[in-house]
Amino acid sequence: MQLILDIIAQPATHNENRQAALFACYKDGSLLMDGRDGKKPGRFTLTRSDHFPWKTFIDKLLIAWQLADMSDVPPQFRPQKRIPQFILDGMPNESEENQLKILATLRKQGYFPALPERR
């Protein structure tokens, strides 16, 4: 399942709307994006202060987890153990802020690998 996202125009995207997939997520909050729209640069980085469509990403991530299709899921979001069904069922009803807190809690509990340092 392709987790392609619409990234709004901002300085990190050279002020162009982009279609991209999350390639990697780092401990400092930066995100390495893999462009899927044929525009250059092919890969670009969003920092913590840039806009990233977390709600859309999490919605698509939940579908990928339930289908067990990890082909386009970044390694930092591939479950290392089965996520409880009540979490999968409840997450879509939560605010974006709460969804991010749930992901952070799951990471602390060992459901996902630790975030790497950015090189």
pLDDT digits (tens, 9 = 90+) for 19-42: 999 999 999 999 999 999 999 999
CA dihedral 66, 86, 102, 63 (to 10 degrees): 20
Each residue's pLDDT tens digit, 36-89: 999 999 999 999 999 999 999 999 999 999 999 999 899 999 999 999 999 999
For the chain, what's the residue count?
A: 119
What are the tokens at 6? 């619409």
pLDDT of 47: 97
pLDDT of 1: 66
Residue 42: count other Cβ atoms within 10 Å of its Cβ.
Answer: 12
Half-sphere exposure (Cβ direction) of 5: Cα atoms closer than 13 Å: 23
pLDDT of 2: 79
CA dist 85 → 68, 73, 106, 113 (Å): 13, 19, 13, 20
Q: 81 near 110, Cβ under 8 Å?
A: yes
State the DSSP code for 76.
G
Q: 24 near 16, Cβ under 8 Å?
A: no
